[in-house]
Amino acid sequence: MKTLLERFGRLRLLAGLFTLLPLLALPALGVVWLVQSSFGVWWLVAGLAALAGAVLLHWLAGRREAAALAQVYTAPGGAWPKQAQECWALVQRRADEATLEEWPLDDPTRLGQLAEQVLRLVAGHFHPRSARPLAEMTVPDTLMVIERAARELRLQVTDNIPGSHRITLAQAFGAQTLKSRYDEFKPFMKVLQLYFMPQALLRQILGDMLLGQVVQAGSRNVQLWLLKEYIRKIGYHAIELYGGLVHLDDGRPLEVATPTTAQDLAEADATAEAVLEPLRIAVLGRVNAGKSSLINALFGELVAATDAIAGSTAEITRYRLERDETLRALVFDTPGFDFAGSDAATLDAAGLDADLVLWVTAANRPDRAEERAALDRLRRAWAAPTRRAPPLVVALTHIDRLRPLREWAPPYVLDPPAGAKATEIAAAVTAAATDLGVEVSTVIPVCAAPERGYNVDDALWAALLFELPEADRVRLLRCQRARRDAQDWGILRRQLAKGGRVLVSTLRRRGRGEPEQGRDL
């Protein structure tokens, strides 16, 4: 006000006020006219009708808002291992139980306490035996998580708050100050409104009673969503941090080919180079189950040696598979786990490193106790909290050798079985699922013999493609683990190299009798 007086002077300000008085008097004179005439009642009815319409529109907007917010939430990582998924269930339960009464959004102290509780929940899950679970993190990983969370918050504010890219902090605090000033003078304004415009005051009071509840309901929906999203966002990044799932970004995509894959690919095809990490499909089973024949059927050409000698695959053989732009993979043909020269540890490692396992079992051999033992050994290793079990598809081979032996007239209808051969095949599928402890739907009856090929190009491929999304999650977790290991060794090498240079420089200065100087790392 003092600035206005100094700039314009009292007389000019009074002149402007007198100029505006007729315009300022029009609303008051209009209300007086409405009170004195018969139109005042109709004006009040119309105002109440407009208020009712506004209430309805706000109610519809609130429902639409609640439905939209239900579709926007932080989801768990698609490639998280079992331990991280279990922790996310705890975080989600904490978010579902949170209330605005317990954790008001306008109380920074309480929100800080809530964040600490979520961090303790996650840290305690990953480090249950640690006396200080919150301290079980590395400094670079912590800074990376802060950077990612800040970036996500910036994008959310920019995308969802209109004009946020133009609002400065000074303007935001100024708007908050103006609102507090308005709240201070609001009672005096209502007194003046009661004296000059009683009908307008009545309509406003009714609006505050009816419309205010609807607006408050919409606002509560947003606030409750913000509270739950706050918990989920903290929990997500805390799981990435304490679960060791953060990798320091070096500008390369996560799915870049690993050194192990580069070596395997060179053995499979010396002319091929992998830009991104392919799927690793391990073909496992007993001797003479038809693994190599099945690989030939999958490739549509002769790539693996078959049935020249019993157990012709004596070591792990790698093949590069590309099919119709839908699948790029390295296929590992393995010797039977019961082969005399096979190494159980090597076969187990092939199963542990696989993104998808194709287990081959013969339909005409019901003795599957050894197969179940070998598969259960892999399952126990897959069940580790830090791992994600690869999807398993069972190929039931040699179905042409089931009774009646001389009958072979595919295709066969199995549900319900049509004919004696179909009945035997359906029974063999159920027996294999029971013996191996898998779902019946994952057992695909096939014949991989070149002259009798059946169910490979359709049913088996369909089963493999159905499991691709989960196999891809296993691949991403494997890439993340490989990147983490390479990152740790790379950082250690750089630190040792820099430390060695500092040590040599220090020894040289001491040898020349020079004083210590600041270290330049």
Residue 444 confidence (pLDDT): 97
Provide the pLDDT confidence category of residue 20 given band limits of 50, 70 and 90: confident
The answer to whether 237 touches 148, Cβ cutoff 8 Å, is yes
- Per-residue DSSP letter, 415: T
Q: What confidence tens digit (pLDDT) does each residue in 27-81 have? A: 777 767 766 777 767 777 777 787 777 767 767 766 676 666 666 778 898 889 9
pLDDT for residue 160 is more than 60: no
Q: What is the pTM of this model?
A: 0.68
How would you classify the pairing of strands 392-397 and 443-445? Answer: parallel
In degrees and rounded to multiples of 5, residue 292 shows phi and psi of -65, -40
- Least confident residue range of 61-75, 301-315, 337-351, 438-452: 301-315
Q: Which residue has the higher pLDDT, 487 or 462?
A: 462
* CA distances, 288 to each of 183, 313, 433 (Å): 85, 9, 19
- The amino acid occupying position 125 is H
SS3 357: strand
Residue indicated by tokens 């732009």: 325
Q: Where in the chain is the domain with CATH 3.40.50.300?
A: 259-472
Residues in the chain: 521
The answer to whether 413 touches 420, Cβ cutoff 8 Å, is no
Residue 337 confidence (pLDDT): 87
Residue 417 confidence (pLDDT): 93
Residue 490 confidence (pLDDT): 47
Four-residue CA torsion sign, 445, 392, 470, 76: positive
User: Which tokens in the block code for residue 367?
Assistant: 């003795």
- Count CA within 13 A, CB hemisphere, residue 150: 6
The residues, any chain, with a CB within 8 Å of residue 215's CB and separated by 6 or more, are 58
Q: How many helices (H) and strands (E) does the chain have?
A: 15, 6
Number of Cβ within a 10 Å radius of residue 38: 7
The answer to whether 231 touches 98, Cβ cutoff 8 Å, is yes
Burial of 334 (0-12, 13-18, 19+ CB in 10 A): buried
User: Which tokens in the block code for residue 392?
Assistant: 């398993």
What is the arithmetic mean of pLDDT over 220-243? 84
pLDDT for residue 243 is more than 50: yes
pLDDT for residue 172 is more than 70: no
Nearest by Cα to 257 from 274, 245, 269: 274
* Residue 320: strand pairing partners: 330
**489-490-495 Cα angle (round to 5):** 95
**173-175-180 Cα angle (round to 5):** 95
Q: What confidence tens digit (pLDDT) does each residue in 444-478 have? A: 999 998 889 999 999 999 999 999 999 999 998 88
Q: Give, for 443, the enclosing helix (H) or strand (E).
A: strand 443-445
Burial of 364 (0-12, 13-18, 19+ CB in 10 A): middle
pLDDT for residue 214 is more than 70: no
**Fold category of 259-472 in CATH:** Rossmann fold (3.40.50)
| Most confident segment among 153-167, 199-213, 465-479 | 465-479
Kindly state the greatest CA–CA separation across the chain: 117
User: Which tokens in the block code for residue 11?
Assistant: 């007389």
Distance from C-alpha of 266 to C-alpha of 262, rounded to nearest angstrom = 6
Provide the pLDDT confidence category of residue 514 given band limits of 50, 70 and 90: low
Burial of 378 (0-12, 13-18, 19+ CB in 10 A): buried
The answer to whether 358 touches 279, Cβ cutoff 8 Å, is no
